[in-house]
Amino acid sequence: MSRYGWNHQQIRQALLAKAWGTPCHFCGAPMLPHQALDLDHHVDGNGYRGITHAACNRADGARRGNAARSTGYPPPRF
């Protein structure tokens, strides 16, 4: 089952309208209608942390993946 399937898209769509103008939990900058936004999963993949800038969310995932590959241990959980 995909983490980005129908349920994910429905939740994202419902939260998106309320996200405009609120701060991204990664960078603190406001999220604006012309920006790409993601629905961010909790680190363990269970549930969601909320809407974030797509670039911030994906950079966080890359940091975690790189940390796991370089150390051989799971990346830190925030």
* pLDDT tens per residue across all 78 residues of the chain: 467 789 999 999 999 989 999 999 999 999 999 999 999 988 888 889 999 999 999 999 888 878 777 776 665 665
What does the pLDDT read at residue 65?
79
DSSP code at position 22: S
Q: Which two tokens stand for residue 32?
A: 């604006």
Residue 48 tokens, joined: 């969601």
The alpha-helical segments, DSSP class H, found in the chain are 6-19, 54-71
- Provide the 3-class DSSP secondary structure of residue 52: strand
Phi, psi of 57 (to 5 degrees): -60, -45
